[in-house]
Structure 1
Amino acid sequence: MNETRQADGTVRLTVAQAVVRFLANQWSERDGERQKLFAGCFGIFGHGNVAGIGQALLQNELEAAEPDRLEYVLARNEQAAVHTAVGYARQKDRLQTWACTASVGPGSTNMLTGAALATVNRIPVLLLPSGTFATRVSGPVLQELEQPYAADVTVNDAFRPLSRFFDRVDRPEQLPSALLGAMRVLTDPVETGAVTIALPQDVQAEAFDWPTPLFAERVWHIARPPAEPSRIAAAAELVRSAKRPLVVAGGGVHYSGAEDALAVFCAATGIPVGETQAGKGSLLHGHPQLMGAIGSTGTTAANALAREADVVIGVGTRWADFTTASRTAFQGKGVRFVNINVASFDAGKQAGLSVVADAHEALAALTVALSGWRVSDEYQAEQARLWAAWDAAVTAAYDPPAEVTGRLAEGLLTQGEVLGAVNELTDPRDVVLCAAGSMPGDLHKLWRVRERKAYHVEYGYSCMGYEVPASIGIRLADESRDVFAMVGDGGYLMMPTELVTAVQERVKVVVVLVQNQGFHSIGSLSESLGSQRFGTRYRYRDEASGRLDGGSLPVDLAANARSLGAHVIEVHDRSGLEAAVKQAKAAPAHGGPVVIHVETDPTIYAPDSESWWDVPVSQVSDLASTRAAYATYLDHKATQRPLITPSEGAGHR
């Protein structure tokens, strides 16, 4: 790479050039295996970064040798770029990620939603928003926010509450500490999330004499903190006292690579497992202790065991409201909790016994501590009975009986049929992806996971539009897997633009576009809350009523996807769907995106979880439907436990 070396051994580069060169030489390492921390940089150029980070990426692409090259990919939407990076990083177990660069003003603030999603889900991604002039010499410039009360405020300050680390580089001398601070957080299993380094446009282009050690290859170790022996002993004592223990497996099981350790633990003890959205696939379909999803979108098997559990062992879960069914899932008198988590913040929830440790290390230690102990034969028989009943319900959802299919209009399928066909006709290693609408709940309940990285549902932020860009990130992370992005028409319309990026990069992703003429999930929620599906259907405004309850809109989403360069397969029956999945599987590995367009009936639901989610209902209303919904709401609120506390003498903190 051409560069200007100084007599004192420093190298003269712009701030942007220094950023790119630094990022290209960062590595992560865990268990002796290392990998490049940054696979590349997604971005869209405009004023603010086109002559800064943009020029630096061009120079790097033209001049850098392969080990020092940072690949650039042009995105179509800045929010989508962050989603793509998140999809990649999650598929890589948070050991690798991408950087994202954006222009001044709206280009940068477009990344805010992606930043929130990354931080909520604890996924590492580096954001490089551009800023207005640090010198303020030309201010106010185009797209600059002026605040009379604070001259140093910019729109990039909006990233502060959404980032796990934030810095603004107003002088070149500040860059090394900003970069090193960013890497520390990106590679910390506890602190990780969105990391933001704001770069004013004039600073990006400013030259400086950098010490060459800044650009030396640097390896960041990903720690596996072990559990304190006293914590394991206390946890083992609590578990040994239990008659109906239950494990709740969260995303930390996957990020730690603790799936095998969990399987050994369950085989040794007979303790059943319920899975959160992020933890689904912690045990694979067919494992005798797997009870499937737990909570508001859970299985009847896992939720039945949760209601009467006396000790609940949370592994790598942050105890979100869907997992606890808004704190109604665990109704056992004196139920106690053991919380295994690398983050003390999460380990301290539910007033449980806190075990701050890596999931793999803690499970291995707890298995040894419980040697010789096992749940009763009766409890294991109950697990098998509950699971068999639920598994039969899943089979019926995949292949609905005639009394269900007979209600369908011509050309329509049930959503369960769609999920079943994709599940059964794809390879075990293929990845199913979703984020928002009714499908995340249905996938959580119904999908049969057959390989540890084959399930990818973003349900921390549940962001509509995540599916298409994230599918690109997953495929870039592992081209040996096909990726099936399940998305409804509402989510698709939020962000179809990255189909163009998939075409550009010849990335094969399969988008299963489920058309149901509106917001399926919120429509059913609205109905259950007494709001009669108001504002959730895609309809003309009726001239007589003045409301959005006219005929269906003539929107052709298949034509839209085709116009963006995707290969589109339109489906009108079950056999056509099965043929489409097979055709998509057979498509060329670098042939670009395939979209399967299928229409479903939104009034036919998946099997009920026999659980609850707390969404407040209007306390007073003139509508009978709302009054009835509020009465039901009060019944559920009566079972809610605002703070779950251990029984007397059992609270090992």
Structure 2
Amino acid sequence: DFATGSQSMFQNPSVKFASINIAELDAIKQGAVAILGDAKLSLIELSAAVAGYKVPSEWATKIKSGVTIWAKQLADAINPELLFDKKTLPDSPVTNAVITQGQLIGLMNETAKSGDVIIAAAGGAPGDIQKAWDATNGKFVHLEFGFSCMGYEIPAGIGVRLATPDQAKRVLVFIGDGTFVMAPTELVTAAQEGINMTVVVSENHGYQVIRRLQMWRVGNHFGNEFRYRQEGPSVAEAGEAKGAAPRLEGDYLDIDIVKMSEGMGATAIYATTPAEIRKALEDARNIKGPVVIVVPTIQHANLPASNVWWDVAPAEVSTQPWVAAIRKDYEEGLSTQRWHA
């Protein structure tokens, strides 16, 4: 669904998908030409079958042009030395964050070495890693993106470390504070088993990718940031008076992930500036057991968008004019969907 823009991206009528899978029901998705088999063996066979094939030069030129444009946008977005103007963001509580999540990925990329593995699964992390991570020169990426499974990342880090006995190769788990609060439990297991891995927490005060989705498809957001309720009558009192209760738009909660991590047996480091983050990432390589690096990141600051349509339906009936506009945009997108068989 992500890769095809909910079946809307590939408009050429000649487009066909070939899918390799050990399960027939998955192999035939998207109307694909199904190849039932082991992924590695199937790719070896396919590589031999298309040996010598080249894409048309016109298409190659178009791809090169697109890559050049994107490379410039990405380089600017992840450069940790560029100051991000907080004034361009929606009104929200002031934090001590000085870098964006994209810039944090840039720093992790900068300090990564051949053989290192980064793991992500839920929230904004896997999409941002897919956009921004440089997987060349022996650096690996492990994404659970099919279900965006919150809580997958830390146990996956344990598994990757067990499968990677060379301790010089870093196992790097990248999560948001939302995922950490939801499922930090396996840090205890990692400490118990002496698992060497580094968990980097992007502290942006909530489930910001879902807030972004709400704004995109509803025009309002609700309950996805770790914020106190504003002062006013209680929810029960407001209900009895048939009035509106104060919204969850107060200051951010002071959730101390450093103390939480230490309480579960991990070494914890709080790093704010690019220099502090670089040092923390380097120091973590020489610390036994799990290390959690907490980095405050500027909320609502996103990497460049793909502008690809996605099948997430807004309300069909609403008294709010902006919802009607969002619905119209959604229905126009529906008309671009196609079957690829």
Shorter-chain TM band: 0.7 to 0.9
Structure 2 residue matching 1:602: 3-state secondary structure: coil
Return the alpha-carbon distance in structure 2 between the equivalents of residues 463 and 471 of structure 1: 14
Return the alpha-carbon distance in structure 2 between the equivalents of residues 372 and 415 of structure 1: 41
In the other structure, the counterpart of 1:518 is: 206
Structure 2 residue matching 1:629: 3-state secondary structure: helix
Match of 2:179 among 491, 498, 501: 491
Corresponding position: 1:622 with 2:316: no
Return the alpha-carbon distance in structure 2 between the equivalents of residues 336 and 419 of structure 1: 34
* Superposition CA RMSD, Å: 2.2
What is the CA distance between 1:543 and its match in structure 2?
2.5
What is the CA distance between 1:441 and its match in structure 2?
0.7
Return the alpha-carbon distance in structure 1 between the equivalents of residues 144 and 98 of structure 2: 27
Structure 1 gaps of 5+ residues are 1-320, 646-653
Structure 2 residue matching 1:551: 3-state secondary structure: coil
What is the CA distance between 1:350 and its match in structure 2?
2.9
Once the two structures are superposed, residues 129-170 of structure 1 have per-residue CA deviations (whole angstroms, 9 ceiling, x without a partner) of xxxxxxxxxxxxxxxxxxxxxxxxxxxxxxxxxxxxxxxxxx
Return the alpha-carbon distance in structure 1 between the equivalents of residues 177 and 108 of structure 2: 18
Structure 2 gaps of 5+ residues are 90-94, 233-244
Structure 1 residue matching 2:262: 3-state secondary structure: helix
The letter of the residue matching 1:609 is S
Structure 1 residue matching 2:187: 3-state secondary structure: helix
Match of 1:353 among 33, 54, 63: 33
Return the alpha-carbon distance in structure 1 between the equivalents of residues 3 and 38 of structure 2: 21
In the other structure, the counterpart of 2:230 is: 542
What is the CA distance between 1:635 and its match in structure 2?
2.1
Once the two structures are superposed, residues 533-576 of structure 1 have per-residue CA deviations (whole angstroms, 9 ceiling, x without a partner) of 21111111223243212221122111111222211111121111
Contact 2:80/2:274 (8 A) holds in 1:
no
In the other structure, the counterpart of 2:240 is: none
Shift of the 501–333 alpha-carbon distance from structure 1 to 2, 3 Å rule, reads: same
Return the alpha-carbon distance in structure 1 between the equivalents of residues 86 and 172 of structure 2: 28
The letter of the residue matching 2:13 is K
Structure 2 residue matching 1:354: 3-state secondary structure: strand
Corresponding position: 1:608 with 2:305: yes
- Choose between structure 1 and 2 for higher RCO, CA contacts under 8 A separated by at least 6 residues: 2
Which structure has the greater CA radius of gyration? 1
Structure 1 residue matching 2:174: 3-state secondary structure: strand
Contact 1:430/1:483 (8 A) holds in 2:
yes
The letter of the residue matching 1:504 is Q
Corresponding position: 1:638 with 2:326: no
Matches within 5 A, 1:389-428: 389-399=69-79, 402=82, 404-405=84-85, 407=87, 410-428=96-114
Structure 2 residue matching 1:336: 3-state secondary structure: coil
Once the two structures are superposed, residues 353-410 of structure 1 have per-residue CA deviations (whole angstroms, 9 ceiling, x without a partner) of 3333333433333444444443233332322222222222221121167563564964
The letter of the residue matching 2:334 is K
In the other structure, the counterpart of 2:115 is: 429
Matches within 5 A, 1:2-401: 321-399=1-79
Contact 1:530/1:627 (8 A) holds in 2:
no
Identity across aligned pairs (percent)?
Answer: 36
Return the alpha-carbon distance in structure 2 between the equivalents of residues 344 and 437 of structure 1: 29
Return the alpha-carbon distance in structure 2 between the equivalents of residues 340 and 465 of structure 1: 28
Return the alpha-carbon distance in structure 2 between the equivalents of residues 479 and 372 of structure 1: 38
In the other structure, the counterpart of 1:568 is: 268
Shift of the 498–373 alpha-carbon distance from structure 1 to 2, 3 Å rule, reads: closer
Worse-matched range after superposition: 428-437 or 446-455: 446-455
Contact 2:230/2:248 (8 A) holds in 1:
yes
In the other structure, the counterpart of 2:218 is: 530
Shift of the 629–506 alpha-carbon distance from structure 1 to 2, 3 Å rule, reads: same
Contact 2:272/2:296 (8 A) holds in 1:
yes
Structure 1 residue matching 2:294: 3-state secondary structure: strand
Shift of the 410–352 alpha-carbon distance from structure 1 to 2, 3 Å rule, reads: closer
Contact 1:530/1:628 (8 A) holds in 2:
no
The letter of the residue matching 1:393 is Q
TM-score, reference length from structure 1: 0.47
Once the two structures are superposed, residues 219-245 of structure 1 have per-residue CA deviations (whole angstroms, 9 ceiling, x without a partner) of xxxxxxxxxxxxxxxxxxxxxxxxxxx
The letter of the residue matching 2:294 is H
In the other structure, the counterpart of 1:247 is: none
Once the two structures are superposed, residues 390-438 of structure 1 have per-residue CA deviations (whole angstroms, 9 ceiling, x without a partner) of 2222211211675635649643310011111011102121111111111
What is the CA distance between 1:527 and its match in structure 2?
0.6
Contact 1:434/1:467 (8 A) holds in 2:
yes
What is the CA distance between 1:464 and its match in structure 2?
1.2
